[in-house]
Amino acid sequence: MNTKTYPALKNSYRILAFLSFVPLTVIAALRYNVGTDYDYVYTPFFYSINSGGEKFNEVGFNLINQITYLISEKPFLMFAVVAILTLMFMFLAFYEQSVNVCMSIYIFVVGLFYFNSLNQIRQALAMAIAVYAMKYLWRREPIKYFLFILLAISMHTSAIIYIPIYFIYGIRANVKAHLIFIICAIVAQPVLKGVIQFVISKTKYAWYLDSIFGQQGFSIITFAFILVTLLLLYYCQLAGKDKEDRQFDLMLNMFLFGVCFMLYSAIIPQADRLTNSMTIITPFIVPKALLRIKEKNRRLVMFFLFSFFFILKLLHDIYWQGWYDVIPYETFFSQI
């Protein structure tokens, strides 16, 4: 991947980039009944959408279902197309925006973002499109940025959260201000609980409040994990305090929002979806954070600390808890 910086090796970089994209994409595209929502949500909706029944609210995702149905009346092609599109946008973002492509891909996997993309596939595709659109945010090209965000919203409505992100670019990420913000969020929780739930009750998402999604309680494991990650990022921020980086500042501010959303996971149904929308930038911010540390040995220690917590969470979620339903893995060839 380091060949990117050498013009004479441009073709080599493209080959390496493609080869890094293929394995994860093939695994995702060929899967069958892998992922919690595979058979529970998306397969029934695939048939419903194409028989004139119930549809998703998002026209873009409905269109993908309808187009793939013209080719195959089995849903496996729809899952394959969504997987390819999701990983295509993510990997293009890695190649074009990451300061360390290899590390970004590594964090994308061990940080569970890849496994999540096999489950909440509408939101995963929307997040991938939004992350790809970040390059237009950095360039301050609002028309292109918002067009891609509209495309993301057509896949999953939650992508609307990326609209205000464009306008907070340039706000410095101050560790002290962040900590005060978190404390205020904790103190204000009892007061805001009623307000938040009242607002939700007046929207189309009101049904969440009385469903299993509204009774999940505070996710302490996930909160502890992202809080530790945030603290490690703060250390890197302070280590490079003489180094201004507006991209890093925006991503750190986004990560703060992700932590606060998870802090309210007992109040906001499906708060983890909002957290995912913000922390999807983890594969980009961690390599940037490590570059802020000048001492090589200290940078190496921080890399291992990040890796330790990511791998620990991966083992907890996938192997110990069995979340995401990605094990055992099976391909659609077994159904032919």
Q: Which two tokens stand for residue 243?
A: 């180094």
Rounded average pLDDT over 208-228: 72
Rounded average pLDDT over 239-256: 91
> Per residue in 282-294, pLDDT tens?
999 999 999 999 9
pTM metric for this prediction:
0.92
> Per residue in 131-151, pLDDT tens?
999 999 999 999 999 999 999
| Residue-level pLDDT at 1 | 44
CA atoms within 13 A on the CB side of 230: 27
> Per residue in 305-315, pLDDT tens?
999 999 999 99
> Per residue in 166-184, pLDDT tens?
999 999 999 999 999 999 9
Q: Which two tokens stand for residue 277?
A: 């929308």
> Per residue in 255-287, pLDDT tens?
999 999 999 888 887 788 899 999 999 999 999
> Per residue in 88-121, pLDDT tens?
999 999 999 999 999 999 999 999 999 999 999 9
CB-based contact 107:279 (threshold 8 Å)? no
| Beta-ladder partners of 331 | 31
Query: DSSP letters of 29-86?
Result: HTBSS-SHHIIIIIHHHHHHHTTT----S-HHHHHHHHHHHHH-SSTHHHHHHHHHHH
Task: Compute CA 51 distance to the chain's CA centroid, rounded to the nearest angstrom.
Answer: 31
Q: Which two tokens stand for residue 143?
A: 């028309």
